Homo-oligomer: A and B are copies of this chain.
């Protein structure tokens, strides 16, 4: 695509027919359908559920009442047959992995505590039995889990170990005499902690412990362990209530510890590792490391659904803030009588519209992610490589979306002023609840580091046969010169040829291929640079290697973030193809440009330092965002949130449902009447002049 000037009409720029030269219009219904995606029916069913008064959060409940209410709501989900989709058909499930997650994500609209507590019961506790157990466990345990006769905890995390699951302290030692496993908590740091259902409701738990038999520790395995009956904890089991938390107080998180707790041998969830009656250990996966990651990998759905829930909440927050911003007026900047709608202020647009673009990018990226998840878990595409890709996708997207949701909720709150701080308008409670999404199911920083390691591995595979010298040469060439992007299509050299006008500068980066190239090049170059610095790490003693790695840790995580952002951008760009309506596609292309150019603007220092964009182009990008994209998109802000398809019941927040407009209209009518009737008091200035 050649250099385009800004005079090109939006329609022709987006490649739509030349007949469409008027302002584009968003086809809200069609866009809504695209956003709902593959599991639209299930999402809509789940939203209808989430709109029911019995499932809505009541602000200000005590922790005890909130917990009790959410437990009741879980029973209602069972009654509505809303929790069986993922489970095996042999026990009455639907074997619909993707649909299950899609439905589950939307529950966050009712109350994140409801979403997460049902996630604990069916997505973690139940899913562990399903994925780590075998036929016996499915038949024996899943029915009670599915119908909520047996609420359960997912007892993986310990007070002392969150991110480093392999290092947990709980042990399960096999006793061949009694043919039982004996579970023990050797010290306080090994208490299971932060477990939903542990403090009050749980009757059983899937407990992760070091499996020890015949004097050998075979690493972390999962065991089905009854923990409580009507009378309280079973013998050998103790625990504590985690008490009040920063959010999600509808969930009874707590601690568990075990002292000589015996469970039958068959309670080992033995899909990936088994112990025979005589204590002999066996596994279909020879490598203990690979076995561990395979077992953990089956639990990726937690990250999928947090990513999806973060997208849903971001959509809701922007629906609230943009609706309010379109009605709220403050200051008479351009007229003597009419106050401005706050969304007409450039700063307000800068605060909300790029976040709207990010939300669309996150939404399209989640669709890709969920489809990949479904491919793997339906068995349609379930190779080792597929699973690794899925886990990398999870580790890249969940951090970005959960952080973005917090940022969006906060900006929406502040953009709604004091009204945004009222509980009735929902933003503060949602933010409090989603806070922990940034650290559970994998701490965001740790996840991004996993992504970075994968990027490094991929990179080094390319150079597996090259000696260190060749690699160093490549890196040097890469850093000093412009690079090819992964599609190999285009060489970046605009810092040399870019002497043109602002319009030409912008024309270049507005182009889809150029955005892709800039974003891709950054990821590749960052990884190549780090790989170059780490190339001798394997030859160093462990401590020095660790130091070298540590001195690159921040850069690694930033590279992973850049990778995640590229994935989001690619998904958004791919999503544009699914938009048939020309007007909608024009607007969505602007929004995608806002996302892509926003990323380049945010990382402009990197692009400048590495000679990928000129100073002039960097300035032109900011001007293009401020002067073109924001004003254009402002006109479509309401249709763009309308396409999220939230009903008033789902929105809930009075400020987003017309209360503000009603007040503004009344006030304007009052002053108009005063002016027209001549009853308005004179302003002091006018009175002085009159004298």
Which A residues are closer than 8 A to B by beta carbons? 59-60, 62-63, 157, 159-164, 167, 169, 186-190, 193-194, 210, 212, 215-219, 242-247, 288, 330-336, 339, 344-347, 350-351, 406, 410, 413-414, 417-424, 427-429, 431-432, 435-436, 438-440, 443-445, 449, 542-543, 546-547, 549-555, 557, 601, 604-605, 608-611, 615, 618-619, 626-627, 662-664, 666-667, 670, 680-685, 687
Closest B residue by C-beta to A663:
B189
Number of copies: 2
On whether the beta carbons of B189 and A667 are closer than 8 Å, the reply is yes
Q: Which 9 A-B pairs have the closest CB atoms?
A: A246-B428, A334-B546, A604-B605, A244-B423, A189-B663, A217-B681, A346-B553, A333-B546, A609-B615
A379 to B543, CA, bound (A): 62
On whether the beta carbons of B216 and A682 are closer than 8 Å, the reply is yes
On whether the beta carbons of A245 and B428 are closer than 8 Å, the reply is yes
On whether the beta carbons of B335 and A543 are closer than 8 Å, the reply is yes
A295 to B571, CA, bound (A): 54
Residues of B within 8 A of A431 (CB): 246
Residues of B within 8 A of A670 (CB): 169, 186-187
Beyond contacts A188-B667, A334-B547: 19 other A-B pairs, Cβ-Cβ < 8 A, are A169-B667, A188-B663, A188-B666, A194-B418, A210-B681, A216-B687, A244-B422, A244-B424, A288-B685, A334-B546, A351-B445, A413-B435, A414-B439, A418-B439, A554-B626, A604-B608, A605-B618, A608-B609, A610-B615
Residues of B within 8 A of A449 (CB): 347
Residues of B within 8 A of A684 (CB): 216-219, 288
Q: How far is the CB of A543 from chain B (nearest CB, A)?
A: 4
A-side interface mostly:
helix
Q: A330-B162, A542-B335 are in contact. Are A551 and B626 (CB under 8 A)?
A: yes
Closest B residue by C-beta to A664:
B189
Q: How far is the CB of A446 from chain B (nearest CB, A)?
A: 9
Q: A334-B547, A410-B406 are in contact. Are A418 and B440 (CB under 8 A)?
A: yes
Q: A423-B243, A609-B608 are in contact. Are A190 and B547 (CB under 8 A)?
A: no
Residues of B within 8 A of A159 (CB): 419, 663
Closest B residue by C-beta to A286:
B688
Q: A246-B421, A436-B418 are in contact. Are A187 and B666 (CB under 8 A)?
A: yes
Residues of B within 8 A of A161 (CB): 330
Q: A422-B243, A428-B432, A553-B347 are in contact. Are A164 and B331 (CB under 8 A)?
A: yes
- Can you list 15 A-B contacts (CB < 8 A)? A59-B244, A160-B664, A188-B662, A210-B681, A216-B684, A242-B422, A245-B422, A246-B429, A288-B685, A333-B549, A413-B435, A417-B439, A418-B436, A418-B440, A551-B627
On whether the beta carbons of B681 and A554 are closer than 8 Å, the reply is no
Closest B residue by C-beta to A601:
B605
Q: How far is the CB of A684 from chain B (nearest CB, A)?
A: 4
Closest B residue by C-beta to A273:
B684
A685 to B167, CA, bound (A): 15
A331 to B161, CA, bound (A): 9
A245 to B217, CA, bound (A): 51
Q: How far is the CB of A674 from chain B (nearest CB, A)?
A: 9
On whether the beta carbons of A330 and B163 are closer than 8 Å, the reply is yes
On whether the beta carbons of A421 and B443 are closer than 8 Å, the reply is no
A533 to B605, CA, bound (A): 24
A59 to B427, CA, bound (A): 21
Residues of B within 8 A of A345 (CB): 550, 553
On whether the beta carbons of A162 and B418 are closer than 8 Å, the reply is yes
Residues of B within 8 A of A549 (CB): 333
A615 to B479, CA, bound (A): 13
Residues of B within 8 A of A615 (CB): 608-611
Residues of B within 8 A of A551 (CB): 346, 626-627
Q: A60-B244, A244-B423, A428-B245 are in contact. Are A554 and B347 (CB under 8 A)?
A: yes
Q: How far is the CB of A613 from chain B (nearest CB, A)?
A: 10
Closest B residue by C-beta to A215:
B681
Residues of B within 8 A of A414 (CB): 438-439, 443-445
On whether the beta carbons of B160 and A667 are closer than 8 Å, the reply is yes
Interface centre among A159, A218, A435 (most CB of B within 10 A): A435
A167 to B546, CA, bound (A): 62
A670 to B210, CA, bound (A): 15
Q: How far is the CB of A441 from chain B (nearest CB, A)?
A: 11
Residues of B within 8 A of A162 (CB): 330, 417-418
Residues of B within 8 A of A432 (CB): 246, 428, 432
Q: How far is the CB of A286 from chain B (nearest CB, A)?
A: 9
